[in-house]
Amino acid sequence: MRALLRKAKEKQTDRSLPRESPATSAEAPSAHDEEHHVEPICINEEATQSAEGGDAGVFTAPISSIRVVNDWIDRNTESVLVRNVARGEGRAVKLTGRSTQAYGGTVTSDGLADQEALPQWLQALSDRLVAQGVYPPSHTPNHVLINDYISPESGIFPHKDGAAYWPRVSILSLSSSAVMDFHRPRSGMSTSGECGDRPSTETVVCRVFLPPRSLLIFDGAAYTDYLHGICAVAADVIDESVLNTDPHTHGTSVARSESGRISLTIRHVPPATAKAHQLDG
């Protein structure tokens, strides 16, 4: 765990836009990618961790079905993803403390409408999740929501993702670490992530540390019965409530990057005409 905290404190990914670099994959960019001047990605499987099989990333928790896979992508892939997010600013929606970009279509209460293909740099992540068994082929991730937090102090109120999505979520962290809290719902607490009472430590059931390049996966009760959110703080305190930490690190804190954290929330959304709410694979 000391190594984990040390990695989180290292110099964060440069989020400025450098001069164009050669493509990192032999695969030719699609017309969609060329139109938006993005870089294709090619994940180095030997330099990364897999979410496939076994108990890797699983820990004993008050809530079942929570996993954190460290170094799910390598640093080069992280850099390409960060640059591609910056190039998508034209489609960003500004919210309090963050901006969002949505790819794959429009999520409605009835499911996914106006569906569009994911660009290559996001489809590659979706394909890898299927190849590693995180999603069955019948529920290949088809929607990605990018949250670009504008400062270290930016967070998101506790919320549920809702019934429009297939009830499993994968969240890839870029550029900075953060701690995610899982809350018991209580009267007056927001479920949208945008408003309502400020999060209270009294409702926190468990917490997980998300270093850069890590993949958080959760479903089951963690998805359907609890809220998840990130406190608006510049540094996260590590204590016994943070499940995936070593006792020797308790009482320390990990500063977030000055440039802010980026998260890619990768999910499957059933078509609006054929919603599915139960895990079947």
CA distances from 102 to 64, 106, 114, 144 (A): 28, 8, 12, 6
User: Of 130 and 3, which is predicted with more confidence?
Assistant: 130
Give pLDDT tens digits for 51-62. 775 555 656 567
Q: If we measure between CA atoms, which residue out of 262, 243, 266 comes closest to residue 181?
A: 243
Residue 45: band (very low, low, confident or very high) from pLDDT cuts 50, 70, 90: confident
Round to whole Å and give the CA distance between 17 and 152: 20
User: Rounded mean pLDDT of 18-25?
Assistant: 36
Give the burial class of 100: count Cβ atoms within 10 A of its Cβ; 0-12 exposed, 13-18 middle, 19 or more buried: middle
Kindly tell me the sign of the dihedral angle through the C-alpha atoms of 240, 243, 247, 250: negative
Asked if pLDDT for residue 183 goes beyond 50, the answer is yes
Question: In this predicted model, what pLDDT tens digit does every residue of 202-232 receive, in sequence order?
Answer: 789 999 999 999 999 999 999 999 999 999 9
pLDDT in tens, 6-16: 444 444 444 54
Q: What is the pLDDT of residue 63?
A: 78
DSSP 47: G
Distance CA 215, CA 266 (A): 10
CA distance 45 to 74: 9
pTM above 0.85, yes or no: no
Is the Cβ–Cβ distance between 213 and 72 less than 8 Å? yes
Domains of the chain in sequence order: 2-10+42-50+58-267 (2.60.120.590)
Collapsing DSSP to helix, strand or coil, 117 comes out as coil
pLDDT of residue 86: 94
Whether the pLDDT of residue 189 is over 60: the answer is: no
Coil/strand/helix, residue 199: coil
User: Lowest-pLDDT range, 30-34, 120-124, 126-130, 274-278?
Assistant: 30-34
pLDDT band for 50, please (50, 70, 90 cuts).
Answer: confident
DSSP assignment of 15-46 equals -S--S----SSSSPPPHHHHHTTPPP----GG
Q: What is the pLDDT of residue 51?
A: 78
- Which residues are paired to 181 by β-bridges? 207, 229
pLDDT at 39 over 60: yes
The answer to whether the CB of 38 falls within 8 A of the CB of 124 is no
pLDDT value at 143 more than 80: yes
pLDDT (mean) for 234-263: 92
pLDDT at residue 275 greater than cutoff 80: no
Question: How many Cα atoms occupy the beta-carbon half-sphere of 230 within 13 Å?
Answer: 29
* More confident site: 132 or 281: 132
